[in-house]
Structure 1
Amino acid sequence: MGRLSKARYAARFADSAADITAAQRLRHRAFRGGLGEDADRFDEICRNVLIEEVKTGTLVACFRLLALGHGREIGASYSAQFYELSALESYEGRLVEMGRFCVDTAWKDPDILRVAWAAMTRYVDETGTDLLFGCSSFTGCEAKAYYDAFAVLRDRHLAPKRWLPKVKAPDVFRFARRLRRVPDPRAAMRTMPPLLKGYLAMGGWVSDHAVIDRDLGTLHVFTGLEVKSIPAARARLLRGALA
């Protein structure tokens, strides 16, 4: 991927133990609050991406990537801990899992997310990735605050049946079954996580249930995006977003 920049921010791969520790500390602040390191075994097999302010070198966002040769390897992914993904084992293309995406809560600049997506686009292009997937998280474990968002996901963005993840985690909210409300689209967009909005705008789809992750204090949905489904105009914008 190399170093990618857009005015105030730059994206690069972590290349030292100090870089990994910095990402783990940012993840801890974002997902758990306070000081500490959010570390797990997946950091050893993933490529961590750092997004920094160019002028100061301040780490403002990060995520990690796990490349899989084909669907038969999906059981090794982070997401497979929470979702039964046997339907995707027959996927023949190259897959990449994007995980632990977070932005420092002190930074609100939308260009940070644009740089993240542009960096991801460069990586997808360079590796010939066919399917991008991961867990998109809603803050907190109470589904009621997100009923409109979940109803929109139910009505417009469920995974194709051939790829639909099944329930595996013990604590889930089956929004596709349980919700009967007609969603308020504006309320849905206000509560939809920014990363998930990005996936959906490019043609992404989600599981029919959310996992209640009490360890991280989030609700998350499995999210998939087939690269061939990304609208051409949006793909051009992403590829042109970074120097």
Structure 2
Amino acid sequence: MGCKISALTGTLGRIGSLEVRLARNPAEIRAAQKIRYRIFYDELGARPGLQHINRYDSDRFDPLCDHLLVLDHELGGPDHQRIVATYRLLRQDMAQAAGGFYSEGEFELNRLTARHPQQRFLELGRSCVLPEYRSRRSIEALWQGIWAYLNHYNIDVMVGCASFSGTDPSAHAEALTYLAHHCRASHEWDVRAVAGRYQPMKLIPIEAVTAKTAIAAMPPLVKAYLRVGARVGNGCVIDHDFATVDIFIVMPVKEIAARYISYYGGTNQPCATA
């Protein structure tokens, strides 16, 4: 397996026994891919292809990505056995080598990048946290790492897909309707689902939506994105391979809520080292 090992090798954040950093070798990348398989295929019911033989999730984008890891140093064994969460990071310059971003298979991200040729884009994807680590502490560790990465590479805009389970948007009608009415990106940053895959998000009258229940019904990752100021695109897409309903997330760094910039980017955070 070809893989890209980042020159950004230092610790990007730490909370208690949890350390966040980038993968440093092929063994750590493969361990992250096995966690992805465990979550996407075993737990969430994605449709396996050739990955089923070796039980790891990978695609043509993996060799071009940096793989953000959370390790629990209270666990024994070598570092690749301590990985409890992972995120895939694809910078725009690397995406060009693949002919575009992963998200472009579902959303018109290429039109957004064309409207902002001076901005540096980063795609977030393949977010996975082991069940026993699905806590605020793990999410905060991941965001420490993402923030350090943004600063190191001078990223201007974060984008990516976020998923609801299943392939029936109506099962998430209240949450999707709330997002479509209250969390849409401005015209400057809006992205539409690709033609032929577009599914509406406004599924019930807004008068029938209760904010508290709509937000409670959202996946933790979507709520985490909203907390830092993310906005959503136009329409959702059914991903039959992963058995999900996907929405598009866009986060211009300059619009991220100031309290999160202070929290994750403060001088008390461990510095990234090249």
Task: Specify if TM > 0.5.
Answer: yes
Cα drift, residue 163 of structure 1: 2.8
In the alignment, the residues of structure 1 paired with residue 185 and residue 195 of structure 2 have an alpha-carbon distance, to the nearest angstrom, of 18
TM-score (norm 2): 0.81
Q: 2:61 is paired with a residue of what secondary structure?
A: helix
In structure 1, the residue matched to 2:67 is 48
State the one-letter code of the partner of 1:188: A
In structure 1, the residue matched to 2:84 is 60
Are 2:109 and 1:90 equivalent residues in the alignment?
no
Are 2:209 and 1:209 equivalent residues in the alignment?
no
In the alignment, the residues of structure 1 paired with residue 195 and residue 115 of structure 2 have an alpha-carbon distance, to the nearest angstrom, of 22
Are 2:187 and 1:175 equivalent residues in the alignment?
no
Q: Deviations over 1:14-67 (max 9, x none)?
A: 121111111111111111117711110110100011111122152211011111
In the alignment, the residues of structure 2 paired with residue 228 and residue 200 of structure 1 have an alpha-carbon distance, to the nearest angstrom, of 15
In the alignment, the residues of structure 1 paired with residue 166 and residue 144 of structure 2 have an alpha-carbon distance, to the nearest angstrom, of 28
In structure 1, the residue matched to 2:25 is 16
Are 2:57 and 1:32 equivalent residues in the alignment?
no
Are 2:133 and 1:107 equivalent residues in the alignment?
yes
Are 2:210 and 1:184 equivalent residues in the alignment?
yes
In structure 1, the residue matched to 2:245 is 219
**Structure with greater strand percent:** 1
Q: Deviations over 1:187-238 (max 9, x none)?
A: 1121212222122122211112111111011111110001101122221112
In the alignment, the residues of structure 2 paired with residue 111 and residue 64 of structure 1 have an alpha-carbon distance, to the nearest angstrom, of 19
In structure 1, the residue matched to 2:262 is 236
Return closer, same or farther for 1:226/1:155 CA change in 2, 3 Å cut-off: same
Tell me how many residue pairs correspond in the alignment: 242
Check whether the contact 1:136–1:222 (CA below 8 A) recurs between aligned residues.
yes
Larger radius of gyration between Structure 1 and Structure 2: 2
Check whether the contact 1:77–1:97 (CA below 8 A) recurs between aligned residues.
yes
- Unaligned runs of 5+ residues in structure 1 are none
Q: 2:246 is paired with a residue of what secondary structure?
A: strand
Check whether the contact 1:8–1:54 (CA below 8 A) recurs between aligned residues.
yes
- Unaligned runs of 5+ residues in structure 2 are 1-7, 44-51
Cα drift, residue 162 of structure 1: 3.0
Residues 67-146 of structure 1 aligned to structure 2 (within 5 Å): 67-69=91-93, 76-85=100-109, 86-91=111-116, 92-146=118-172
Return closer, same or farther for 1:74/1:147 CA change in 2, 3 Å cut-off: farther
Deviates more, 1:229-238 or 1:63-72: 63-72
Check whether the contact 1:73–1:89 (CA below 8 A) recurs between aligned residues.
no
State the one-letter code of the partner of 1:198: A
Q: Deviations over 1:147-204 (max 9, x none)?
A: 121122112111122332223264442114x432431112112121222212212221
In the alignment, the residues of structure 2 paired with residue 225 and residue 74 of structure 1 have an alpha-carbon distance, to the nearest angstrom, of 22
Return closer, same or farther for 1:73/1:153 CA change in 2, 3 Å cut-off: farther
Return closer, same or farther for 1:22/1:70 CA change in 2, 3 Å cut-off: closer
Check whether the contact 1:11–1:115 (CA below 8 A) recurs between aligned residues.
yes
Q: Quote the RMSD (CA, aligned, Å).
A: 2.3
TM-score (norm 1): 0.91
Check whether the contact 2:197–2:237 (CA below 8 A) recurs between aligned residues.
yes
State the one-letter code of the partner of 1:112: S
Residues 137-176 of structure 1 aligned to structure 2 (within 5 Å): 137-168=163-194, 170-176=196-202
Check whether the contact 1:32–1:217 (CA below 8 A) recurs between aligned residues.
no
State the one-letter code of the partner of 2:179: L
In the alignment, the residues of structure 1 paired with residue 41 and residue 30 of structure 2 have an alpha-carbon distance, to the nearest angstrom, of 16
Check whether the contact 2:61–2:98 (CA below 8 A) recurs between aligned residues.
no
Return closer, same or farther for 1:228/1:137 CA change in 2, 3 Å cut-off: same
